[in-house]
Structure 1
Amino acid sequence: MLMPITYAEKNLFSKNAQEIVVELLDRSYDNSVLLFKVLAHSVQNNATLVQSLDESIFENTEVFKEQFSNLLQHALTQAYTNKQVMTESTKDYSVKELSKYFGVSVVSIHNWLDQGRFEGIERAGDHKHNRISGDTLYITAAGKKLKVDDVVKMWEQQELEHEQQHQQEDNLSYYTRQIAIYEHKYNGEYEATLGAKNELTPEEETDAQVWKHLLRRQTLEFRITKE
């Protein structure tokens, strides 16, 4: 199976390319020249890159460092592009979409970005909007890592199960019954159980998100039935 290159790893490699070059050159300049030549001729779409180079770049260390860093960036671009082609295409999600899939507010997603809870992703500034790749790792409060795509799949599975249940009972009854399951599991209402805890286990965090969603839907159904 092809080893995946995550969005976070792509960003980290791009950020550290210059440092990687310096470490290689410090270890062995001659071996670095050999590695550079092999890489330059092995990566895809290398015509422009190779044609612009000659042996003179190896005579000046700073020029060589710059060209080596450029080569690594080019190799990264090709590797990440190949990964996307050879594996199932990964979708990018907006902050608003993630708020739905995670069952939290947009503000919470922004806070998680500020806290580094989406590995390798920094909050966009200057009125720009984050697009978060599905292969990004989300770090739970307990330190567990989940791929964003996996969280989305869990949400979709829950929605499918909900839809199947809806076909057999009215909405209000369904939400009330589902809430009762969680109240039985945690021996009390949400605010007195998970809602009162400062730290949650991964299972509790998932349950809390679903439970809150059910409570919101139940409240909405109450309003609809009264109108």
Structure 2
Amino acid sequence: MFEAADKQVLLEQRFALSKSLVEGTALRGDLFTLALTNFLKITLPGNALAHEALTVHNPMDKKQLEDALVKALEIIVTVATEEVEYGKVYTTGQIAKLFGVSITTIHNWLKEGRFIGIELKGGNKQTRIPESTRWKSPTGVILTIREVAEKFSTPPQTPRTANQELLELTKSIAFFEQKYKSTYEQYLQNQDIEKADFETRRDLQEWKYLQRRIGDREET
């Protein structure tokens, strides 16, 4: 654990470290700074002031690079010394309520890597999902958990049962079969997917996911 004196030393030296890294000729400090600041903006909750301080509008401006790196180091030191907590952290049960699905579905999404950077913990360890975590939808759209919570800001829904989820999957597949007047397998056989438009390719992505989810259920 960091002592208060350790934190003070780190904060004081962030200026010299930033200047040395940005102005060094042997290292590409500019690229490192851009990568680090972009990483923090992606992974930290939506703090507008912090994000602005981390933004480098002109990568050729060493002063901007130094200032952004100083801010980045300040955030890292602050978080590492556990002085503040950045954003809300959800349990898998809370995430299930947020999405209106079962905890089993959330576990499946974790195994599929749809919560980017978060792995399902085994044993008695509980998986925690920060609100800054990025979630990938079946159609490829990426949202943070915070954005999902804001989008569905209605009171938490009661998680659906396994039978209710199966019914929803079946209805969704029926929608695509009616739209394209074909089953998924027949459509793939009879159509040139390479020539399909964006909407069709997006539908096929979602359709394929639904088919796989149904298949997974039949195997269990």
Mark yes or no: TM-score above 0.5.
no
* Category of TM-score, reference length = shorter chain: 0.3 to 0.5
TM-score with structure 2 length normalisation? 0.38
Normalising by structure 1, report the TM-score. Answer: 0.37
Of structures 1 and 2, the one scoring higher in RCO (CA 8 A, sep 6+) is: 1
**Rg larger in 1 or in 2?**
1
